[in-house]
Amino acid sequence: MKKSAILLFVACLSACSPQTRLTRLISKHPELMTIDTLMVRDTLAIPAIEADTVLCTDSIHDTVFLTKGRLEVSVMKYHNTLYIRGKCKSDTLVYKFIR
């Protein structure tokens, strides 16, 4: 019993160090030292937004269209009713993340 305990103790002391194990692992598998680039590409879709408003007025007589970027607004008079319609076009955002 005493001899087996001494033999186990000697075997633990003579085992490889972590540095030696790492060196042996890298020599067997050199692809572990290659640095990989991870590219994440994500897309965020923004839905279109629409709104309608109806007003009664006698002061406006023309149809007006306004466009600025993604926003479109139209003002139209039909008899004694004023129609105002606003619309925001849909958009998609794409960003790249490299780590």
Say whether pLDDT at 84 is over 80: yes
Its pTM surpasses 0.85: no
Query: Rounded to whole angstroms, how far apart are CA atoms 13 and 11?
Result: 5
Average pLDDT over residues 64-81: 81
Which residues face 98 on adjacent strands?
39
15 pLDDT band, cuts 50/70/90, is low
Say whether pLDDT at 87 is over 80: yes
pLDDT (0 to 100) of residue 30: 87
Query: Rounded to whole angstroms, how far apart are CA atoms 5 and 7?
Result: 5
> In a 3-state reduction of DSSP, which class is residue 13?
helix
Average pLDDT over residues 54-63: 69
